[in-house]
């Protein structure tokens, strides 16, 4: 049989346990109140969810006022219940906010589609201007590149086919260099600027018809014309009397 001392120790331990559980319940109620205040400020959380959790908090506060008359287990159970409801409240808030965000994104996408489908003169003019600028820019760049290749290749008219092709390729890629050399030759007067082919003199004329038709940008007439042959007349015998 337990002695009075042991009974006092057990009673004290129980009171300590009750006090600890009351302290934990008080902390949970305070934390639940802070969570409730934050939840009310978050857009997208339904009023029903907020009111439901508010009811749980008020019930816990009412229980806490008379909790000193409750058992330690009852206090702990109430605290566990409040913690569970608080976690459910947080999870539900996150879910509702996510659903609202998805709905807003859908509405924004629908609004964007409607705006895109409707005619907007300012947007149309801007797109047209941008497209025209892009076409003009790339067309000019390609033209200048091919012109640079043409300058380099035509200048190498006296070189072999491989050299002329090489000049055309690298003259196109490095067309600013081609223009720089052409300008330098023009300044010193050593470049007449003659074009034997539109792009590169690679296919000499005359040639088969299909090359002349489909590859006319690369056909050229050789500047090296054959020289006329002079025939020596048959020697005529001159009478001796005319010689003397």
| pTM (predicted TM-score) | 0.43
Determine, yes or no, domain membership for 230. no
Do 140 and 189 lie in one domain? The reply is yes
Determine, yes or no, domain membership for 225. no
Determine, yes or no, domain membership for 216. yes
Whole-angstrom distance, CA of residue 77 vs CA of residue 25: 10
The per-residue pLDDT string of the chain (244 residues; one tens digit each, 9 = 90 and over) reads: 557 777 778 777 878 888 888 888 889 989 999 988 988 888 888 888 889 989 999 998 888 888 878 888 888 888 899 899 889 889 988 888 888 888 888 888 777 766 656 667 788 888 889 999 999 999 999 999 988 888 888 888 888 889 888 988 998 999 899 888 888 877 777 556 677 888 888 888 776 777 767 777 888 877 655 444 454 445 555 455 554 4
Residue where one domain finishes, among candidates 85, 116, 147:
116
Q: What is the 3-state secondary structure (H, E, C) of 131-156?
A: HHHHHHHHHHHHHHHHHHHHHHHHHC
Residue where one domain finishes, among candidates 69, 84, 116:
116
Do 81 and 61 lie in one domain? The reply is yes
> Residue 219's beta-bridge partner residues?
203
Do 12 and 96 lie in one domain? The reply is yes
Do the beta carbons of residue 219 and residue 237 sit within 8 Å?
no
Do the beta carbons of residue 101 and residue 47 sit within 8 Å?
no
Q: How far is CA 174 from CA 26, 62, 171, in A?
A: 80, 86, 5
Do 107 and 159 lie in one domain? The reply is no
Which domain covers residue 173, as residue numbers? 126-220
In the block, residue with structure tokens 């339904």: 46
Structure tokens at 214: 């489909």
Whole-angstrom distance, CA of residue 115 vs CA of residue 193: 55
Number of domains in the chain: 2
Determine, yes or no, domain membership for 1. no
Do 97 and 130 lie in one domain? The reply is no
Do 58 and 83 lie in one domain? The reply is yes
Determine, yes or no, domain membership for 27. yes
Determine, yes or no, domain membership for 92. yes
The residues near 106 (Cβ < 8 Å, ≥ 6 apart) are none
Structure tokens at 82: 């409040």
């Amino acid at each position: 049989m337990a002695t009075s001392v042991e009974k006092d120790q057990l009673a004290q331990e129980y009171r300590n346990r009750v006090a600890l559980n009351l302290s934990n319940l008080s902390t949970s109620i305070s934390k639940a109140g802070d969570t409730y205040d934050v939840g009310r400020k978050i857009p997208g959380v339904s009023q029903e969810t907020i009111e439901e959790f508010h009811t749980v908090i008020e019930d816990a506060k009412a229980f806490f006022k008379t909790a000193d008359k409750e058992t330690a287990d009852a206090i702990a159970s109430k605290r566990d219940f409040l913690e569970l409801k608080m976690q459910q409240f947080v999870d539900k808030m996150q879910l509702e906010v996510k659903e609202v965000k998805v709905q807003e994104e859908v509405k924004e996408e629908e609004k964007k589609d409607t705006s895109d489908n409707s005619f907007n003169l300012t947007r149309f003019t801007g797109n047209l201007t941008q497209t025209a600028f892009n076409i003009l820019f790339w067309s000019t760049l390609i033209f200048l590149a091919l012109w640079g290749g043409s300058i380099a290749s035509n200048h190498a008219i006296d070189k072999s086919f491989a050299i002329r092709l090489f000049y055309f390729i690298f003259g196109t890629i490095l067309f600013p260099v081609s223009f720089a050399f052409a300008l330098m030759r023009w300044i010193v007067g050593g470049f007449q600027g003659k074009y034997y082919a539109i792009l590169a003199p690679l296919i000499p004329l005359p040639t088969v018809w299909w090359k002349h038709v489909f590859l006319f940008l690369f056909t050229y007439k050789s500047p090296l014309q054959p020289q006329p042959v002079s025939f020596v007349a048959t020697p005529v015998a001159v009478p001796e009397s005319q010689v003397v």
